[in-house]
Amino acid sequence: MPVRCLFTALLLFAAPSTFAQDAPVEPGQTFTGKVVEVTDGDTYDVRRSIGGAVTIRLHGVDAPESAQSYGTAATRAARQYVGGESVRVAIEEIGRYGRAVARVEVQGGDLGALLIGDGLAWWYREYAPNETEYARLQ
């Protein structure tokens, strides 16, 4: 296979974790957009309404990875909440892997709280010790 075709094939079939984050963000920013990929229950790729793409990790929430018990259910629930909906993203920080750590609001509700309330995610106390609503839901 010629190198150019191989490169094109790699781009087309790249794993979601290689999503190009082409919209720089910083803590304190908010924006709206559409979720274009749900990697797992707590990680999303969002196409901003003003242009550009951002990988988001939910602030203060942890969900099982897709291959872990309940991981598929958490991913499926997240897709149902955000599928076709506009989301509001509020950046809290940039995490150690370079992902934006943010709160995500969908249909007027906090996505993290929805997942915790469903029993498909849990409060990440170490990173969000003051999230009393998450503590209550858990």
When divided into structural domains, the chain yields a total of: 1
| Domain range for 41 | 27-137
Any residues with CB less than 8 A from the CB of 71 and at least 6 apart, and which? 40, 41, 63, 64, 65
Tens of pLDDT along the chain (138 residues)?
A: 443 433 333 333 333 444 456 778 999 999 999 999 999 999 999 999 999 999 999 999 999 998 999 999 999 999 999 998 999 999 999 998 889 999 999 999 999 999 999 999 999 999 899 999 999 999
The CATH number assigned to the domain holding 107 equals 2.40.50.90
In a domain, residue 100? The reply is yes
Distance CA 5, CA 14 (A): 14
Tell the burial category of 107 from Cβ atoms under 10 Å away from its Cβ (0-12, 13-18, 19+): exposed
In a domain, residue 84? The reply is yes
In a domain, residue 14? The reply is no
